Amino acid sequence: MSADYRDYLSDLISELKAQWPDNRTINIVCHGHSVPSGYFATPMVDTFNAYPHLLHKGLKELYPFAVINVIVTAIGGEHSASGAKRFHEDVLCHKPDVVTIDYGLNDRRIGFLEAETAWRSMISESLESNAKVILLTPTPDTSGLKDPGAENWMALQGHAAQIRELSDEFGIGLADSMSAIERHSDTSGDITDFLSWSNHPNRKGHKIVATELMRWFSIT
């Protein structure tokens, strides 16, 4: 079963509430591909409207006495197999308290088996280092939305399902970006309203992802 957002980060939230001199630096690492990297309409990189920055801003508004680093180790165009290979050197070196993992869009290039192996590796390494983990399902790709039966769309849905299953199996956090954006598009307009490009969210899309992440940190 996936972790319960009401208590998964309760110990960390207590530390975020602490004031000097009893506080410490909290490190959150956002690992993944072009979306956490901040790519909008490629090659434009809009760092300050991407979800890692929006998460950082939201956390600082919620915890004004906390010292928080939100560190982005994402690389545009990368899939999870490549991300797993550099995980120890590029992610764990920051001694993260929380790691977010976001590779679903690009993992269609490597398929379910290789992606699952890579995600399992990154999750296990994080947990062994005592970091909490929040997995992200992919944000939408309009090239698949034109035909819901298309292979591209079905693969995206399949990777989202696999990520949800890993969250359940390991009992870790899940930010279901895909479901959240789909819910908003059902009530607030077409799904393309949340995209800056065919497979990159705009600020509205990133805000939804950041909100999904923030609920893990927002228990009072």
CA–CA separation, 207 vs 164, rounded Å?
21
> Would you state the pLDDT for residue 147?
57
% helix, strand, coil for the chain, step of 5: 50, 15, 35
Side chain identity at residue 93, one-letter code = C
- DSSP at 97: S
For all residues of the chain together, what is the average pLDDT? 94
CA–CA separation, 196 vs 93, rounded Å?
32
Among residues 165, 218, 164, 195, the alpha carbon closest in space to that of 8 is found at: 218
Label residue 79 left, alpha or beta by phi (over 0 means left) and psi (-120 to 50 means alpha).
beta
- Look at 34-38, 54-58, 159-163, 178-182 and tell me which has the smallest mean pLDDT: 178-182
Please report, for residues 101, 145, 187, the alpha-carbon distance to residue 208 in angstroms, rounded to integers and kept in the order given.
Answer: 16, 19, 14
- Cβ atoms of 212 and 175 closer than 8 Å: yes
Helical packing angle, 51-62 and 203-214, nearest 10°: 50
- Find where tokens 């939408």 sit: 140
The pairing of beta strand 132-136 with beta strand 200-201 = unpaired
Rg (CA), the chain: 16
User: Both ends of the chain: CA-CA distance in Å?
Assistant: 23
Q: How confident is the model at residue 190 (pLDDT cuts 50, 70, 90)?
A: confident
Write down how long the chain is. 220
> Would you state the pLDDT for residue 187?
80
> Would you state the pLDDT for residue 100?
99
Q: How confident is the model at residue 145 (pLDDT cuts 50, 70, 90)?
A: low
Entry pTM:
0.96
Please report, for residues 62, 69, 95, 173, the alpha-carbon distance to residue 21 in angstroms, rounded to integers and kept in the order given.
Answer: 19, 18, 21, 30
Among residues 92, 94, 26, 93, the alpha carbon closest in space to that of 62 is found at: 26
Question: What are the sequence ranges of the domains in the chain?
Answer: 10-214
- Digit-coded pLDDT (tens) for 88-140: 999 999 999 999 999 999 999 999 999 999 999 999 999 999 999 999 999 99
Q: For domain 10-214, give the CATH superfamily.
A: SGNH hydrolase (3.40.50.1110)
